[in-house]
Amino acid sequence: MPTLDDVRRAAKSLAGSIERTPLARSEALSREIGAEVFLKLESLQRTGSFKVRGATYAVSRLPREARARGVVTISAGNHGRGLAHAAAAAGIPCTVVMPAGANPVKVEATRALGAEIVFAANANEAFALVDRISAERGLRFVPPFDDEDVIAAQGTVALEVLEDLPNADVLLAPVGGGGLVAGCALVVKSAAPKCRVVATEPAGADKLRRALEAGKVVRLERVQTVADGLAAPFTGERNLRILQGRLDGLVVLSEEEILAGLRFLLERCRVLAEPAGAASAAALLTRRAGVKPGERVVAIVSGGNLDLARLPEYLGKG
């Protein structure tokens, strides 16, 4: 398992290759829930999401021979775009397997970075396809979440948060495969153990809730959520082991609650977020995150790659 020292090494390696995103106080959210709310704006990160952290660090750690052959991954969009960015910077080939129906904005942005896009029927079939492509072409698979280097790099988000707000009481992070929240929980419970870590995921992709209840990874046969960035069909093994005993809460959100969070960020906070990026704010608005009056709360806005064509639908005007 990665350690706090691993996260610190990742932070040093990433310096200059990624943005140190701002931690901005939200007056609107603070008033709404009666606490001091800060937004960690990974929506302003290069490629529009936190995923570029893990992808960039993982590529930097590859042996020279593996780098020369190229990389492959599976992604609903943000990790693929992050890996395409990292591969382009390193001058190596990149292939991204995406489920059919992936966000077209993310597909085109990934292709524009020079990546080859291969589509699979759904998320579960995509995992089988990426294994086959890796074996047939000799490409190095860079996992989207269940990987020590990726987890360590995603943990740099929390490292920056604690540098900017060392007395934070609560940190909220969304859950796709669990790389972000696992990396953040590892950092917080090592460096600021009194700070509570709360995860949030869609009811239509509640793999972490089921895994915590079962005590093991549970693979969902069907995933359905507007938050495509949180639509991984299972939580990673490493991520689950990190979260067991480190997670202080889990908020499972309906589709309506996710979109209410998105609308609040857009209309009241003037923050551009995709549905997955709005999940932490949405969890705060439900009042189910266990936040006490006056506490210092950080909500990670994990991504801002919004499909503008669906904006009327998201705003309830479609």
Catalytic option among 40, 51, 106, 189: 51
- Asked if 295 contacts 38 with a C-beta cutoff of 8 angstroms, the reply is no
Which of the following is catalytic: 26, 49, 75, 302? 302
User: Using CA atoms, how far apart are residues 133 and 114, in angstroms rounded to an integer?
Assistant: 18
CB 195 within 8 A of CB 186: no
Residue 220 to residues 44, 122, 203, 217, Cα–Cα distance (Å): 31, 12, 12, 10
User: What sign does the dihedral 255-37-22-235 (CA atoms) show?
Assistant: negative
Candidates 220, 209, 167; CA nearest to 23 is: 167
Catalytic site residue 51?
Answer: yes
d(CA 126, CA 141): 13
Alpha-carbon distance of 3 to 9, in angstroms, equals: 10
Let me know if 69 is exposed, middle or buried by CB neighbors in 10 A (0-12, 13-18, 19+): middle
Q: How far apart are CA 281 and CA 294, in angstroms?
A: 16
Strand 116-120 vs strand 170-174: parallel, antiparallel, or unpaired?
unpaired
CA atoms of 113 and 30, how far apart (whole Å): 38
> Contact 185/197 with Cβ under 8 angstroms?
yes
Give strand pairing partners of 37.
297
> If we measure between CA atoms, which residue out of 286, 268, 273 comes closest to residue 314?
273
Query: Distance between CA atoms of 59 and 222, rounded to whole angstroms?
Result: 31
Q: So which residues are the catalytic ones?
A: 51, 302
